[in-house]
Structure 1
Amino acid sequence: MYNVLLVEDERWVRTAVRRTIERTSLPFQVVQECQNGLEALDWLHHQRADLVLADIRMPVMDGLTFLSQLRERDTTTSIVLVSGHDDFKYVQQGLRLGVFDYMLKPVETEEMQACLRKWMDSVGSQRLEAKPEAKDAAELTPVERVVQLIHERLPGEITLTDAAAAVHLNPSYVSQLFKQRMNQTFVDYVLHARMGEAERLLKLTSLRISEIADRLGYTDVAYFSNTFKRIKQYTPSEYRKRLTEAGK
């Protein structure tokens, strides 16, 4: 059974697509539904889907932005874009980002079946080919593993104690190793990583500043804004205003 992630902002459309997949009688099951690209990226940080069906026009983060962000860290997950708009520019952008297929709403059972069969054939062909070997976690140095862990936990928080436990070393020793290798303390690296995530959310989503602060674990919006300004030279609102003006 292949696992499908469904990304669509309208609940009734998600229900319709899920039932269409079921009517194909093919070995696919929807294991998660997300309302926008940002929710999907968060879910994919910790889970994996064999196939992602994503709408293009969604609030917070649209389908093409979601696809672009996913491709920065994952070039293997197959994406099928689903849209209510027959606009060739979407097709072009999707193809450039490596989309597997593109379907128009409403998706009929026969069309869904053809798309899923084509995907199954593609997967079967790929499995006959040799797969490149990824660097195994056991081959990573303790500092590389800690850095990996920090980014896996974003937008959440990770402490030095958490990191040390993950690599089975003393926190003080990890702190010394980290500073020697990265030329900055563990705390500073985490702070810059979190502000980098804040910058990404300000740029790519329509989330309010208070919502971004909350996602990053800041209950005090003013403190979050001051911290962001210290790292990025602008407050979150100033940063977003500059982006808006630059886009005009």
Structure 2
Amino acid sequence: MYKVILVDDERWVRVVLRKAVEQTKLPFEIVQECANGLEAIDALQKHEADLVISDVKMPIMDGIALAEQMTQVSANLILVSGYDDFQLAQQAIRFGVKDYLLKPVEMEAMADCLGRWMQDRTTKSARHLADSPLIGTDELSAIEQVQQFIGSNLSRDITLTDAAALVHLNPSYLSQLFKQQTGGKFVDYVIEMRMEEAKKLLIKTSLRVSEIAERLGYGDISYFSSTFKKLTGCSPLEYRKCGGRLDEAK
């Protein structure tokens, strides 16, 4: 069964989408329903979902911002849009959106969409098996696994020891390898990724700075703010006020 997360700020729409998925009789299981993109990002950290079906227009984090955030995860995204915001949905193609569903979503349209997704996934899996060499994980892929681990656990206390255990390497060796491959220290990379996520949350959501700090594993908002300013040259509120244009000016 493929695992699906439904995202829409209106409960009745989620009911319609759920029924449409179930009526297709295809091997898809709804594992969670969310009211906005931010909830969906949290859900993706808890569930190993294969597919997210999301509305475009939602409060806090809309479907376009969700598409941008999902470039860091393995799950695919299908957007649901009305005729008036279909062009907006099309803009998300640069973030890897797999397909679009126009409202009102009927079972036949859902079945076609899910069928295309399944076919695409099957084709890619076959190519991957054909191209994969029968060798163990090399050093480069180990670093890629560590980077993915960091990106998926920004709210946790991420340690070098945990990362080393993930890829079955000695922590000291992983530290040297990480610096060699990325050009920086492990701990600095974790901080940089947290600050990059903070930038996105400041611009894409209406969360308070304290809430963003907590989401990124900082119990002390003052420490979070000083770290953010050290890396960006401005405070979190200043960054939000200028809409991220300080990055463009650098």
Aligned residue pairs: how many? 244
- Residue 242 of structure 2: aligned partner: 242
Whether contact under 8 Å (1:81, 1:101) holds in the other structure is yes
TM-score by length of 1: 0.78
What residue number does 2:24 align with? 24
User: CA 1:16–1:231 in structure 2 vs 1: closer, same or farther (change >3 Å)?
Assistant: same
Q: TM-score, normalised by structure 2?
A: 0.78
Judge conservation of contact 1:86–1:104 (CA < 8 Å) in 2: no
CA distance in 1, matches of 2:146, 2:50: 27
Q: Specify the SS of the correspondent of 1:162.
A: helix
Aligned pairs for 1:1-150 (under 5 A) are 1-45=1-45, 47-70=47-70, 72-73=71-72, 77-123=75-121, 126=123, 130-131=127-128, 133=131, 138-141=137-140, 145-150=145-150
Unaligned runs of 5+ in 2: none
Summarize the Cα distance change of 1:50–1:220 in structure 2 as closer, same or farther, 3 Å threshold. Answer: closer
- Of the structure 1 ranges 51-60 and 83-92, higher mean CA displacement relative to structure 2 is found in 83-92
Distance in 2 of aligned mates of 1:89 and 1:30: 27
Determine if contact 1:213/1:221 at 8 Å carries over to the other structure. Answer: yes
Gaps of 5+ in 1: none
Q: 1:156, 1:216 within 8 Å by CA — same for their partners in 2?
A: yes
Query: Given residue 237 of structure 1, which amino acid in structure 2 is its aligned partner?
Result: L
Percent identity for Structure 1 against Structure 2: 51
* Structure-1 separation of matches of 2:115 and 2:9: 26
Q: How does 1:204-215 map to 2 (within 5 A)?
A: 204-215=204-215
Question: 1:133 & 1:16 partners in 2: Cα distance?
Answer: 40
Distance 1:140 1:11, change over 3 A: farther
- Residues 143 and 118 (structure 1), Cα distance of their counterparts in 2 relative to 1, 3 Å cut: closer
Cα RMSD for the two superposed structures: 3.4
